[in-house]
């Protein structure tokens, strides 16, 4: 099958590479000519484990190509995926200008029947808007399908190749069957292909992310209650995670969620619900809790070092919003570091993958360490923001020798409090004694 994917961000690039991996002829389109040149040279502009190998292999086998020409890609394809960004607008809604601009160009380029697939995360009713936009530009027949992605950054390739489920929102059987054929290689182990109406498919993505964000904020609220009463959030987590009705996933307390999906999608649900005169009170609370949680670690700093940090050196481990990515969009590290700087601290930070991203955010306002230990030189305290595996079992003796004072403020609960005390650290974490 011949496939075009418009947009080469996390979703578009992963989708295009994985479809090529199963033998399809895929061409990925982006208006950013510098990005296309980078991809055509065999380099990947984002960090995503496993993606570079798949892209390189399928380029060598002539199944994956990159171009800036959207009309040419559309004309040679049977299926056209729209995987462009839907950033948050000033009012919190998902901005559809890139989606509808792509739809308009697709309509102008049509030369026969096509299936147009909304892969971007879009509000309910977008498939209809895309259909209307294309219909204004072409007389050729076409179908519009909603096919939301459920990829986790840091595991996007694995998630695409081995999905939990595939959701297809289609109004006609011809398009639905073509999509089933496209996804059969990924669902041989029994993952369901769920065909439904486009609006339900669109809402399913938002519902999934909103539920996960809610679990995170709920556990962070309970972590704060544990601190107030002297409880241990890890024990609470184990107890409720053992309940089959609840399960253990997304029950870890910390310093809040970030990234390109959860914050944006929660705000979008709140906004499009309000457009239909419905106030989504639970998600309003989820967002408020998360924003407060991001800076709650600063209270620990205040308690242990005081609010005036002029001349104090603070090490920060972790800048990306989660491990296995270089993405810092809405990352808790940003308000935490800004809070430290506002208090007068000198911040020296390290992240295994997000150092260049951080330089674009903070410039020269902070120091950038060569490795985790380099960040600790003469540090008055260490703040852990992202739970990278390489932070889990460090050389604690070396840490103590390098730090001015052995204070660790752990925003991800990666160490055991009792062990840290035995090792001689002053240790604070989230929701634990």
Active site residues: 261
Beta bridge partners of 399: none
Please say whether the beta carbons of 127 and 169 come within 8 A: yes
Q: How far apart are CA 381 and CA 393, in angstroms?
A: 18
Residue 265 contacts residue 125 (beta carbons within 8 Å)? no
3-state secondary structure of 161: helix
Decide: 111 and 3 in contact? Cβ < 8 Å.
no
Q: Who contacts 187 (Cβ-Cβ below 8 Å, separation ≥6)? A: 163, 166, 193
Residue 134: φ, ψ to 5° = -70, -40
Of the candidates 111, 90, 115, 86, the residue with the CA atom closest to the CA atom of residue 101: 86
Q: Do the beta carbons of residue 386 and residue 321 sit within 8 Å? A: yes
Residue 220 has which token pair?
A: 């962070």
Among candidate residues 235, 214, 238, the one with its CA nearest the CA of residue 226: 235
How many beta carbons lie within 10 A of that of residue 292, not counting itself?
A: 14
Given a contact cutoff of 8 angstroms between Cβ atoms, the answer to whether 142 and 110 are in contact is yes
DSSP string, 25-71: EEEEE-S-HHHHHHHHTT--SS--TTHHHHHHHHHHTTSEEEES-HH
> What residues form DSSP beta bridges with 368?
349
Residue 242 to residue 265: CA distance in whole angstroms: 29
Rounded to whole angstroms, the Cα distance separating 79 from 26 reads 10
| Cβ–Cβ under 8 Å, residues 218 and 396 | no
Task: Determine the Cα–Cα distance for residues 58 and 384; give it in Å rounded to an integer.
Answer: 38
Nearest of 199, 195, 186, 200 to residue 167 by alpha carbon: 195
> In sequence order, what E strands does 302-396 have?
313-317, 346-350, 367-368, 381-384
DSSP, collapsed to helix, strand or coil, labels residue 166 as strand
């Amino acid at each position: 099958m011949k496939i075009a994917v418009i947009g080469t961000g996390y979703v578009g690039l992963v989708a295009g590479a994985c479809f090529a991996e199963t033998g399809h002829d895929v061409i990925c389109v982006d208006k950013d000519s510098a990005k296309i040149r980078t991809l055509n040279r065999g380099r990947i502009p984002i960090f995503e484990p496993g993606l570079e190998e798949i892209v390189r292999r399928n380029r060598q086998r002539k199944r994956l190509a990159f171009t800036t020409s959207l009309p040419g890609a559309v004309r040679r394809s049977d299926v056209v995926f729209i995987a462009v960004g839907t950033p948050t607008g000033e009012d919190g809604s998902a901005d559809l200008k890139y989606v509808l601009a792509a739809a308009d160009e697709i309509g102008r380029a049509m030369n026969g029947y096509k299936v147009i697939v909304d892969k971007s995360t879009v509000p309910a009713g977008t498939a209809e808007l895309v259909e209307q936009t294309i219909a204004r530009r072409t007389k050729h027949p076409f179908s519009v399908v909603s096919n939301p992605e459920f990829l986790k950054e840091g595991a996007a390739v694995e998630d695409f190749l081995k999905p939990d489920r595939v959701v297809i929102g289609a109004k006609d059987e011809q398009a639905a069957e073509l999509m089933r054929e496209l996804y059969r290689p990924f669902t041989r182990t029994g993952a369901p292909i769920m065909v439904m109406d486009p609006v339900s498919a669109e809402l399913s993505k938002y519902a999934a992310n909103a539920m996960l964000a809610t679990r995170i904020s709920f556990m962070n609220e309970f972590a704060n209650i544990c601190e107030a009463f002297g409880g241990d959030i890890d024990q609470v987590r184990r107890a409720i995670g053992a309940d089959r009705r609840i399960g253990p996933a997304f029950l870890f307390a910390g310093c809040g969620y970030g990234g390109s999906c959860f914050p944006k999608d929660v705000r979008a649900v709140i906004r499009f619900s309000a457009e239909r005169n419905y106030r989504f009170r639970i998600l309003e609370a989820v967002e408020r809790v998360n924003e407060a949680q991001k800076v709650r670690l600063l209270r620990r700093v205040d308690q242990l070092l005081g609010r005036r940090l002029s001349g104090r050196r603070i090490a920060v481990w972790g800048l990306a919003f989660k491990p296995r990515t270089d993405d810092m969009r809405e990352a808790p590290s940003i308000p935490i570091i800004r809070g430290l700087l506002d208090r007068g601290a000198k911040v020296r930070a390290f992240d295994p993958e997000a150092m260049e991203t951080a330089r674009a955010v903070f410039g020269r306002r902070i120091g950038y360490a060569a490795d985790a230990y380099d960040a600790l030189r003469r540090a008055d305290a260490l703040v852990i923001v992202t739970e990278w595996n390489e932070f889990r079992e460090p050389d604690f003796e070396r840490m103590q020798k390098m730090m001015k004072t052995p204070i660790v403020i752990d925003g991800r609960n990666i160490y055991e409090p009792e062990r840290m005390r035995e090792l001689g650290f002053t240790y604070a974490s989230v929701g634990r004694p």
